[in-house]
């Protein structure tokens, strides 16, 4: 029998966790790096073939335990277009459902995959833990706190529409949810941006997230304000943005929440206050709730371009997280 005693120590034990890697929040991206990611998204929007298949021979895990149309499709198809092979998991596929821990799951995935795109039911801390335990890059495809890849896509659409974003004026109307948080961190990186979040009382951006975005904005001269009455909205806006009132996987603590949200409905009369502004919506939309059909499907809506931008922005994020240089 072969003596393997000398080899066993290298085969036993748990690999030590490594520093987390990936894209977890836009707050952690230096402004110049975020704006390069935005520019790369626009480049890939104009030419999806502007690369040399930088993910060839790489396996990309795509784990979604929450519903998704745009983000999931964008990352799966984006991985394929970049030469990678997606390994896809649905909400009931992993042993997480039977009690396996997040670190144990991360160790297993890290031993078999090259990177992971994940939308789970848990907080952002779980995605960081997957990355550390698995020693692999992880993309936050939406956590409770933030939807950073949506923020990249949003800024890319604005760059496509306006070119230079310096001094852009954005009015966001609705709940201070994870999309709004990503928008705050993203626009804080834009020199001279002016952003107003009009949110129902009690449904504003998380205080720590808004404070962090404002702190970042000091370096770029951007300004982020929050109001709770659209009568106080600024007289000038280049963009009016809303999201659906019932965010994926959440519920409102107040049974009468719709009464608080109704004044923030974006219809033709509201949009007319800013006659040169374009309209954005991250979709899915509930016509009649947060937005009127005449606005969502109207000539000033960029919502469908915004949706199409999810693919090239996902490709740009995958390149970035995988460490592949642009083609």
Please indicate, yes or no, whether residues 46 and 138 belong to a single structural domain of this protein.
Answer: yes
One domain, residues 47 and 140: yes
Q: Does residue 171 share a domain with residue 119?
A: no
Do 158 and 120 belong together in one domain? no
Q: How confident is the model at residue 17, as a pLDDT?
A: 80
Pair 255, 126 in one domain: no
- pLDDT tens by residue, 175-230: 999 999 999 999 999 999 999 999 999 999 999 999 999 999 999 999 999 999 99
Does residue 201 form part of some domain? yes
How many residues does the structure list for the chain?
A: 327
* Pair (127, 195) in one structural domain: no
Q: Is residue 6 part of a domain?
A: no
How many separate domains does the chain show?
2
Give the domain extent around 288: 148-308
Sheet with strand 115-119: strands edge to edge? 21-23, 137-140, 115-119, 59-64, 85-89
Same domain, yes or no, for 119 and 228? no
Q: How far apart are CA 4 and CA 74, in angstroms?
A: 47
Place 247 in a pLDDT band, splitting at 50, 70 and 90: low
Judged on CB neighbours under 10 Å (0-12, 13-18, 19+), 137 is: buried
- Is 131 in the same domain as 230? no
254-264: per-residue pLDDT in tens? 888 999 999 99
- Whichever domain contains 224, its CATH number is 3.40.50.1370
Q: Answer whether residue 3 is part of any domain.
A: no
For residue 249, tell me if it sits in a domain. yes
Q: Are 170 and 277 in contact (CB under 8 A)?
A: no
Q: Say what the pLDDT of residue 62 is.
A: 98
Whole-prediction pTM: 0.93
Q: Is residue 1 in a domain?
A: no
Residue 246 counted as domain residue: yes
> Does residue 76 sit within a domain?
yes
> Which of 1-15, 69-83, 198-212 has the lowest average pLDDT?
1-15
For 247, other C-beta atoms within 10 Å of its C-beta total: 18
Does pLDDT of 327 surpass 60?
no
Shared-domain flag, residues 316 and 286: no
Q: What's the pLDDT band for 42 if we cut at 50, 70, 90?
A: very high
Per the CB < 8 A criterion, the answer to whether 122 and 144 are in contact is yes
Alpha carbons 224 and 183: distance in angstroms, whole number: 10
- Whether 134 and 190 map to the same domain: the answer is no
Distances (CA, A) of 18 to 13, 14, 200: 15, 12, 41
Is the model's pLDDT at 155 over the cut of 60? yes
Does 11 map to a domain? no
Question: And the tokens for 209?
Answer: 């997230």
153 and 104 in one domain?
no
- Cα(24)–Cα(21) distance, integer angstroms: 9
Regarding whether 213 and 302 lie in a shared domain, the answer is yes
């Amino acid at each position: 029998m072969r003596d393997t005693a000398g080899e066993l120590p290298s085969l036993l034990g748990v690999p030590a966790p490594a520093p987390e890697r990936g894209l977890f929040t836009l707050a952690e991206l230096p402004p110049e790096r975020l704006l390069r990611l935005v520019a790369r998204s626009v480049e890939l929007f104009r030419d999806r073939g502007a690369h040399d298949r930088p993910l060839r021979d790489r396996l990309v895990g795509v784990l979604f335990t929450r519903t998704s149309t745009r983000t999931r499709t964008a990352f799966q198809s984006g991985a394929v277009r970049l030469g990678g092979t997606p390994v896809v998991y649905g909400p009931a596929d992993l042993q997480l459902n039977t009690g396996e821990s997040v670190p144990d799951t991360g160790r297993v995935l890290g031993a078999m995959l090259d990177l992971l795109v994940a939308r789970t039911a848990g907080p952002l801390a779980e995605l960081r833990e997957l990355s550390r335990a698995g020693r692999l890059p992880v993309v936050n495809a939406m956590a409770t706190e933030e939807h950073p890849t949506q923020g990249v896509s949003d800024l890319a659409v604005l760059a496509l529409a306006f070119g230079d974003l310096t001094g852009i004026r954005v009015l966001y109307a609705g709940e201070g949810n994870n999309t709004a948080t990503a928008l705050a961190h993203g626009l804080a990186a834009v020199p001279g941006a002016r952003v107003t979040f009009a949110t129902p009382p009690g449904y504003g951006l998380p205080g720590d997230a808004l404070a962090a975005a404002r702190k970042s904005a000091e370096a770029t001269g951007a300004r982020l304000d929050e109001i709770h009455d659209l009568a106080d909205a600024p007289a000038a806006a280049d963009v009016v943005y809303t999201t659906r009132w019932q965010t994926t996987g959440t519920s409102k603590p107040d049974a009468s929440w719709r009464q608080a949200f109704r004044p923030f409905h974006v219809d033709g009369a509201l949009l007319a206050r800013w006659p040169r502004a374009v309209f954005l919506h991250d979709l899915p939309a509930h016509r009649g709730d947060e937005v009127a059909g005449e606005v969502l499907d109207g000539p000033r809506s960029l919502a469908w371009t915004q949706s199409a931008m999810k693919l090239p922005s996902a490709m740009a994020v995958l390149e970035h997280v995988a460490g592949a240089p642009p083609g």
